[in-house]
Amino acid sequence: MKALNFINGKWQPALSGQWAPVVNPANGEAIGEAALSAAADVDAAVQAAKAAQKKWALVPAPKRADVLYKVGLLLKERKEQLARLLTMEMGKVIEEARGEVQEGIDMAFYMAGEGRRLFGDTTPSELKDKFAMSVRVPVGVVGIITPWNFPIAIATWKSFPAIVAGNAVVWKPALETPFMARELAAIFAEAGLPDGVFNVVHGDGPMAGSALVEHPDVPVISFTGSNDVGRQIAEKCGRLLKKVSLEMGGKNAVIVMDDADLTLAVDGIVWSAFGTSGQRCTACSRVIVHERVKQELERRLLEAVKTLKIGDGLDETVKVGPVIHEEALKKIDRYVHIGREEGAKLLVGGHILREGDYARGFYYAPTIFTDVTPDMRIAREEIFGPVVSIISVRSLDEAIAVNNGVDYGLSSAIFTRDVNNVFRAMRDLDTGIVYVNAGTTGAEIHLPFGGTKGTGNGHRDSGVAALDVFTEWRSIYVDFSGKLQRAQIDTGD
């Protein structure tokens, strides 16, 4: 399989003719290659997008939405095929891959609805015979840069609102997962999107990604990925006075109070910590437990983890798939060593799986540390693997302080039956997403998605909030008095 660039409605290799291998993390086998693009490829895509956007912006929004609706139908029709390909290139288990494609379907239909909304405001003017309103206008060419862990969903969170609002898109997907991008581009073309409105340029971050960020004809960058890269992009965009939306890492916690339903809490923790092998930005990597139920929670968690089948995500019975590549395995293992050195107690896991079939892929044993203190690095830094740290606390106040005491602010959760605890948590947990009696993952596409502090820079993906990234507000005053009326001066006093 080859993932070509999709520029101005045409499939083409990188101008350099170079390719990067794409590997199935479940078995290490090469499944294809992706175009390894550079600045000239990005420029070709941006020029195509710039020309196409001018016409696209003039298409009535409900007509633009019709295309998205067709995209939704095609995604729905191909859900199973896409999910299988997603599992092969990224590794997540097939059930989760289906869920990820479903997110794209939901987003297509939701954003198609926006074609008949895209609401602005009308407001009274302070002057007689004058009309005032504000309307959303597209920004132009939108640069989208995405990670490998949600290879299709995140692109839909960004590109669908951008396109319905009248922008054109140049998307640089992660080099590890180019095939979902290929499929989405093909679906856009089949749905009748005019050439040049949606373009894909494959390549690595430092070359293709940087070229997109720095391109003078791309006024807005929407990025999801790591903090290090996000910070670099923000610095560049700051210098260039570009609008930039950043969705970055997390260090998400589940709080378990002493009155919690422990069966439910264990289900929530296992799903959030080990689903997608811990490689979700919203993965639970800390469990903050009331000391009165710590021992019992640990006992039940251990029991649950022992039942998790690890393997190739295409096997329907597997619950934990591989991690993305060898480099990720090594990073996770380094953190496990750090945890041991810091004095945390390893309850289960803590090693790379190398025996038998595991030897071919990239598998890490689901890992739980306990007796972790909030100052340890394993309790503060994003590991991005199936590793969770248990921290014991004595009160809700302490739990909230521990939850909030990290540099990230994406997602948090609390298990409790006490309504007072619930409302205090809803008010005092400082993350962009809060779950009550559910794990740290499970966002729905019609609500804003994103985080506070080191997780983001104040923007949100998903929901109507996403439109704020891809539109500018234009305020319009229409004076029908037939004479000069000066605001704040001709007050009639």
Q: Which residues bind ligand NAD (CB under 6 A)?
A: 145-150, 172, 174-175, 204-206, 209-210, 213, 224-226, 229, 232-233, 247-250, 281, 382, 384, 410, 451, 455
Question: 330 and 305 in contact (C-beta within 8 Å)?
Answer: no
Annotated catalytic sites, by residue?
Answer: 247, 281
> CB of residue 445 vs ligand NAD: minimum separation in angstroms?
12
Nearer to ligand NAD, 67 or 469 (CB): 469
Residue showing the smallest CB distance to ligand NAD in the complex: 205
Residue whose CB is less far from ligand NAD, 13 or 249: 249
CB 112 within 8 A of CB 69: yes
Closest approach of ligand NAD to the CB of residue 375, in Å: 22
Q: Which residues pair with 5 in a beta bridge?
A: 12
> Measured from the CB atom, is 229 or 266 closer to ligand NAD?
229
Q: Which is nearer to ligand NAD, 205 or 439 (CB)?
A: 205
Q: How far is it, in rounded angstroms, from Cα 422 to Cα 87?
A: 36
In angstroms, what is the minimal distance from the CB of 204 to ligand NAD?
6
36 or 191, CB closer to ligand NAD? 36
Q: Measured between alpha carbons, how far is 26 from 312 in angstroms, rounded to an integer? A: 5
CA distance 280 to 138: 31
> In 10 A of CB 114, how many CB atoms?
22
User: Cβ of residue 54: shortest distance to ligand NAD, in angstroms?
Assistant: 26
Report the nearest approach of ligand NAD to the CB of residue 448 (Å): 11
Q: Measured from the CB atom, is 194 or 432 closer to ligand NAD?
A: 432
Shortest Å, Cβ 476 to ligand NAD: 34
